[in-house]
Structure 1
Amino acid sequence: MAKKTANINIRIDPETKAGAEQLFAKFGITVTDAVNIFLRQSLMVGGLPFDMRQPAITLKPKAAIQEARDIAAGKNPAKPYASARELFEELLTANADIWVILKYSSSFVHYLTPRISSPNHNNHRHNHKHPILEN
């Protein structure tokens, strides 16, 4: 006789679902199998089967920091913006990872200001070093 099962319905964004399906397929299991493993482990340890922490800096912000370093060093030309507002509007719609950098350094905007308004981002009038980008 087959074991009885219960259904759990969850809402998740399609990208996360697709990524999880691809990941678990590499292990030869389904998302349902992974959820069952998670729930059983939770019961065995009496809580979540992993530490809950906020990651310091993930790979994307590390890449963003490196890209900013390259721009500051003149290795990668920065796109000129007419105003800081134009820059931030693009950031909000395109790539929010830069906000992690802003979180760690309130001086980031001050550091970028001469580079934002001028195609010559190696302006020697502003040769101060940023604590994250140029350490």
Structure 2
Amino acid sequence: MATNTSMLHVRIDENIKAQANEALASMGLTMADAVRLFLHRVVADQAFPLELKVPNAATRAAMSEARAIMAERRARFTNADELLADLEKDSGQ
């Protein structure tokens, strides 16, 4: 029995595509397999198969800070010891 198929063209950042292909390959999937799986879940569930949330104020602030750091190409910490000290401080250790 012949199946009717259709092409789907999607524009995606090359770096994201490469990283996704690598991750999917480690799971034994191709990009096409992943897209088909995603669309089958949409049809089966009649919903988006991932939970999407509007970020809260703390998350938005962290995202804004991360974008500023990336735009300025600077690190928040000058070395690993500073990073670990900040992590320990925040964890209450």
TM-score by length of 2: 0.59
Unaligned runs of 5+ in 2: 63-67, 77-88
Return structure 1 stretches of 4+ with deviation > 4 angstroms: none
Partner of 1:9, secondary structure, is: coil
Partner of residue 130, structure 1: none
1:1-135 to 2 correspondence within 5 Å? 1-53=1-53, 54=55, 92-94=71-73, 134-135=89-90
Give the Å deviation of 1:4.
2.3
Coordinate RMSD, CA, aligned:
3.3
Give the Å deviation of 1:30.
0.5
Give the Å deviation of 1:93.
3.6
Among all aligned residue pairs of Structure 1 and Structure 2, give the percentage whose two residues are the same amino acid. 28
Report the Cα distance in structure 2 between the residues aligned to 1:93 and 1:6, rounded to whole angstroms: 43
Give the Å deviation of 1:91.
5.1
Larger Rg: 1
Q: Tell me which amino acid in the other structure corresponds to 2:52.
A: M
- Determine which structure has the larger helix proportion and give its number: 2
Report the Cα distance in structure 2 between the residues aligned to 1:31 and 1:93, rounded to whole angstroms: 33
Q: RCO higher in 1 or 2 (8 Å CA, sep ≥ 6)?
A: 1
Unaligned runs of 5+ in 1: 62-87, 99-133
Report the Cα distance in structure 2 between the residues aligned to 1:91 and 1:50, rounded to whole angstroms: 27
